[in-house]
Structure 1
Amino acid sequence: MTTTMAASCSLVCCGEERDSDKAVIVRFSNGTVKNADQLDFTMYKNADEKNPRKRSRRILVAETDRLSYAGHNFGTASLKCNNLCKYYVGVLNKQTMQMEVHNAQLFNMQPVIPGEATETATAQDTTLTYRDKVDSLIETFGTNKQKRALSSRRMNQVGSDTLQQAVAKAASTVIDQKGLEALQQEVADTESQGDLSVHLPPCHADADTAENVYLYDDLLSPVEFGALEQAGSKMLALTPEELQKMRDAGEPLCVMKLLENMPSVDEAREKRARCAFYLSLLLKLSRQKSIGRKFGQEEGCPRVIQSKLLRTFTVESFNNGRVQNMVPSSMRAKLAAFSLALLLHLGGMTADLTLLHRDLGITEAKMIEIARSMGLTLTKPPRGKAAADGLQEQNRLASLILPLVKHVPFIERRRRKKMH
């Protein structure tokens, strides 16, 4: 009979389930439960369902006549195996003879000894400070003037406590809305306004050649460069008519200049085409404040490059209970530095700062500050050479020349007035 039932049994997968529909597997840390039917289980969930890091938190409580147990799926008491493995439970429906497969999560149930926390709190409450003892004496035996002073001080203390609670509540609300990482990044942005060195690509100032100061592999690793093969092939296949349409559509001038002046050697052409596609993504990223998970998919951006951009040039933050990738001002400076270093490799260690700062959407003063922080030499092309290269006379160029230039910030000194 059992064999016939097992042979006719079939499995049914329930698919994606909500957290409330997941099965629960419990284990007790202090032994084995003999009469499981006598346990009364209750599941509690976090009330903050907008926060993606809190809405999945659960507390499971089991009560008996003698003892109570509690288990958490978060914190130090939770089981780490829930993050490393995925568990399933099969439930046999005897009427349809189908085995339903449900997602499951494990809880480690620990006994809760009643009275321990209450006794500790009572012992702490009975310990009065010297100030509390003096206030008690004044309240009982003090003069009217002392009592009025005590009442005034307590009123001020209540007002101060209320203000602190309001400030703490406001800070908690801001943290829940924006996220702790975004707030820390804003503080870091404010502190690093005068120090751009933390946003520059790795610099090898003691290199023997200019190409080795900012290594190409630090900008694009061999794996990332290989992932751009298909995107580079599309760039190489662009016709002059398509390039003109891109220019008319407002594509970045730095990218258009690279595509319109392709070298004749096949290897150099392939490298420039891939870098032009990668540079277009950097410039597009600098113009946006928030980045979605589908960034670059329309342009055919590989998954490796997309992950690199989100990891290197964005910061995670909360927005209406959802995690978003933001581009703060410090990351725009980092995008400018990496774009400038890439243009140096593609332009014979010389890049046009004027075109770059317009494509990035930052001021020329900020672009010059970044170039000086990288130790570059700033020049303007001669009139004849500027016309031959298709540049305007006021365009400012940045060149990497060894040894690197050490720019010292100018500090204005106030002249003291002479005493007559």
Structure 2
Amino acid sequence: MLSFRLEITTTMAASCSLVSCGEEREADKAVIVQFSNGSVRNAEKLDFTLYKNTDQSNPRKKSRRIVVAESDRLSYVGQNFGTGSLKCNNLCKYYVGVLNKQTKQMEVHSAQIFNMQPAVPGEATEAEKLQDASQTYRDKVDSLIEAFGTNKQKRALSSRRLNQVGGEMLHQAVAKAANTVIDEKGLEALQQEVAQTESQGDLALHLPPCNADAHTPEDVYPLDNLLSPVEFEALEQAGSKLAAITTEELQKMRDEGGHLCVVKHLENLPSDGDAREKITRCSFYLSLLLKLARQKNITRKFGQEEGCPRPIQVKLMKTFTVETFNNGRLQNVVSSSMRAKLAAYCLALLLHMDHMTTDLTLLHRDLGLTEARMLEVAKSMGLTLTKPPRGSADEDGMRDKHRQASLVLPLVKYDQFRERRKRKKMH
């Protein structure tokens, strides 16, 4: 083991004293080297050089040092970082004493140990060895072609690499664009849109449970599938509030553009207790469905102002909304396919409220859907569509032709009609 700063003496006088050097600088630290392949007989024939990292601002790199010892025959290299460094520097602290012969005082300096290994010219470094190990058979063949291949082989290699780079760039661009769209809309909303586009109006997946073999119209789309008995009981308090609504409040709802389907049923409540209770509870649930169809982003507080019970709120979120991620937050969104589902459930609920015949025009206006879309929903449910004759007027005296939808057994099967666009003539 050899030190640059250590003056070795065989005996120390009794008058010598030990003095600490205090807070020393980086340049005052001693360097101790040991050679891995033997011992040095004459240290004066070695030319030592100490290198330090230039990045002094990085706390992990500013303490990196490399020691190089050059002789006439061979060079030795040691470093305090990487795989070739000694772990003892991290576990222990080493000190070197330097004796001043004039003052008889010994200064103590901290030191680091470097393991010097011979550097053979032409030998591959550790980084090059790792790179060679990671190369595949194809990479090695390409390297041989670059060095010794013919012009034809080199042109083929260059063409293949250009195609590979172009394919990777295209793949990265497509992946980046897809991730951007997914982050903005959400995966489930995109899946719903794709399903809607592929089906091209097929609403079978969004209809309420249907029993086509039922013997009575009421059992085709059972009310229990629209509102379970537990959910129906949860609407007792909300239904009681609607049953006590005054004429002035109903007129205010109509003037403010309220849901006409709900207002119509509240203005004509039956006198029978059970039937009255059924209409009021279904009307409250219908008003929530109509409000939900008009919104896009749904918060967790939806329906709280109207006094919506918690079971109904959970049912609306799970049945008629899609969960999406937007800027790292989870949101409930009413997609276009969910709006069609809301239309189907509202239509089935109105059939039970109107003795299996309801006003289709009034419903599509409250939902904010087009008449063509509403007709698609009614046809997919197998309903019978009727239109009042010419010249007839509605309750307000307006010649507004309202379509009626009725559930009549057996259900009507409509043929799917797809419009063909005419080709434009070239002039």
Structure 2 counterpart of 1:184, one-letter code: Q
Larger Rg computed on CA atoms: 2
Structure 2 counterpart of 1:295, one-letter code: F
Counterpart contact for 2:196–2:202, Cα < 8 Å: no
Verify: 1:370 aligned to 2:391, yes or no: no
Could you say if the C-alpha distance between residues 409 and 180 of structure 1 is closer, same or farther in structure 2, counting changes exceeding 3 Å?
closer
Partners of 1:390 and 1:263 lie apart in 2 by 24
Partner of 1:128: 137
Partner of 2:411: 404
TM-score w.r.t. length of structure 1? 0.65
Counterpart contact for 1:177–1:321, Cα < 8 Å: no
| 1:383 to partner: Cα distance | 6.7
| 1:123 to partner: Cα distance | 11
Partners of 2:421 and 2:400 lie apart in 1 by 36
Aligned partner (choices 284, 289, 293) of residue 300 of structure 2: 293
Could you say if the C-alpha distance between residues 138 and 411 of structure 1 is closer, same or farther in structure 2, counting changes exceeding 3 Å?
same
Could you say if the C-alpha distance between residues 176 and 413 of structure 1 is closer, same or farther in structure 2, counting changes exceeding 3 Å?
closer
| 1:136 to partner: Cα distance | 4.0
Partner of 2:278: 271
Could you say if the C-alpha distance between residues 123 and 350 of structure 1 is closer, same or farther in structure 2, counting changes exceeding 3 Å?
farther
Partner of 2:61: none
Structure 2 counterpart of 1:128, one-letter code: Y
Could you say if the C-alpha distance between residues 391 and 404 of structure 1 is closer, same or farther in structure 2, counting changes exceeding 3 Å?
farther
Could you say if the C-alpha distance between residues 207 and 269 of structure 1 is closer, same or farther in structure 2, counting changes exceeding 3 Å?
same
SS in 2 for 1:186: helix
Verify: 1:248 aligned to 2:255, yes or no: yes
Where does 1:209-288 land on structure 2 (aligned, <5 Å)?
209-288=216-295
Segment of structure 1 superposing worse, 392-401 or 326-335: 392-401
Show structure 1 runs of 5+ residues with no match. 1-64, 66-120, 416-420
| 1:179 to partner: Cα distance | 3.2
SS in 2 for 1:324: strand
Counterpart contact for 1:382–1:393, Cα < 8 Å: no
Partners of 1:123 and 1:348 lie apart in 2 by 81
Aligned partner (choices 352, 357, 360) of residue 350 of structure 1: 357
Partners of 2:182 and 2:420 lie apart in 1 by 42
Partners of 2:145 and 2:131 lie apart in 1 by 24
Verify: 1:314 aligned to 2:293, yes or no: no
SS in 2 for 1:208: coil
TM-score w.r.t. length of structure 2? 0.64
Show structure 2 runs of 5+ residues with no match. 1-86, 88-129, 423-427
Partners of 1:401 and 1:381 lie apart in 2 by 18
Partners of 2:371 and 2:282 lie apart in 1 by 23
Partners of 2:360 and 2:133 lie apart in 1 by 66
Partners of 1:186 and 1:127 lie apart in 2 by 43
Partner of 1:186: 193
State the Cα deviation string for residues 146-180 of structure 1 (Å, max 9, x = none): 32342233123212212212322333343344433
How many residues are matched?
Answer: 294
Counterpart contact for 1:383–1:393, Cα < 8 Å: no
Verify: 1:360 aligned to 2:367, yes or no: yes
Partners of 1:392 and 1:335 lie apart in 2 by 29
